[in-house]
Structure formats: structure tokens, C-alpha cells
Structure 1
């Protein structure tokens, strides 16, 4: 046992933190509640240009063997990317967090646990 919190619990914590901060969080695909991978689509708006930006972050293992956030933003269509990933891994959680603190909440929640 590696001491990690179950994926479902981390997803719930992320959604609650996002919603409590005035942002929006939603589950796009529900994965395995215990050990499913977590793919987070982080959406924020650049205050200088009002441009909407989307990034894809995933819980994975870093080069040091510890849990890390990996930026796996595709060069083009994010929707096709996560659907393709989900078709190969039905245990994968896919969530979208839309708000100013989405990336920070993701890092704090996933990397601390």
C-alpha cells in the first residue's frame, strides 16, 4: 500500500475547492473510485487579454518516483485527446476546473496526497 488517497476522494476535494472559490468544477468522465488516473482540464482566463486558456494536467510519477503533475496538453483538440485516452483507460477520471485558482488547487490537492 502506498498511502495515497483514493482517486474519488481527490476528485471530490478538487471539485469542492473549485466550487467553494466561486469557480466551476465538473466530472466529464467518472473513473475507478480507488485507483483511477486523474486527468484535469484546467480552464482560466488571461486577465490581460480575456483569452480563455485550457491545459491538461495529469497525476503521474515524476523522474524521482514521486507523484507529480504532468502537463500533457495536446497541440490541438483537447476533447478528442481526453476521449481517446478514456477509450483506452476506462478507469480514468476526467474533470474540468474553470476558475482563477484551478491549477493551484490541482497541485495542492494532488501533490500533497
Structure 2
């Protein structure tokens, strides 16, 4: 199994990927620099959004889960409510918000439950 990058380095890389592609991305909650998990909110700037959280697949690989499969989104208010609950549960959690009209998440890891995939 491959070692995970420190959370801060991973978050910085995601923000950089989004920026290079012309999207806006920023940290709305700074978690633990080394081992914090990351929650990604993608706002489409039209009242809709998506949330992505890390998970493990059956092969033991880290993947991201689009929470639409759990009924979170596509209304941005639903995603925001979930983000607020997650923020309250885990002070080590990183929360990154990406603003992109195309709804791109810029994750290089596999994303499960993505309707566009």
C-alpha cells in the first residue's frame, strides 16, 4: 500500500490544479497538516454543488465518494449543511471549496458515485 501524502501537501496540490485550470479554490477549514482528511465542496455558481469525501474501495485503495449517492446535493444548501455538520464533528478536517461553473473536482484519485463518470 502506498503512503499517503501529508494532508497539507495534498490540499496545496489540489488548489494548484484547480487554479491552473482556471477555477477558484481555497481552504475554508485548515485541518491537521499531516493526517487530516479532506472534504471537497465544488460550487457550480448556479445554486448547485457537490461534496466529495475520502473513502476506501474494496481493494483497499483511497477513493473519493461523491455524496450525491447519499442524498447530499445537488442543491448547494444541502451541501453547505453537510459541510457544517462535518466541520463540527472533526476539527482535524480540511475543507476545500472549489468554485467552477463546469463542476470539476480536480481529484486525481478515483471518484465513485459520480453521475458524470
For the criterion TM > 0.5, the same-fold answer is yes
Gap regions ≥5 residues in structure 1: 46-50
Q: Report the CA distance between 1:38 and its aligned residue.
A: 0.6
TM-score normalised to structure 1 length: 0.78
- Which whole-Å CA distance do the structure 2 matches of 1:52 and 1:88 have between them? 25
Structure number having the greater helix percentage: 1
Q: Say if 2:99 is the partner of 1:98.
A: yes
Gap regions ≥5 residues in structure 2: 111-117
Q: Is the 8 A contact 1:18 1:25 kept in 2?
A: yes
Structural mapping, 1:1-113, within 5 Å: 3-44=3-44, 51-73=46-68, 74-75=72-73, 77-99=78-100, 100=102, 102-103=104-105, 105-106=106-107, 108=108, 110=109
SS in 2 for 1:77: helix
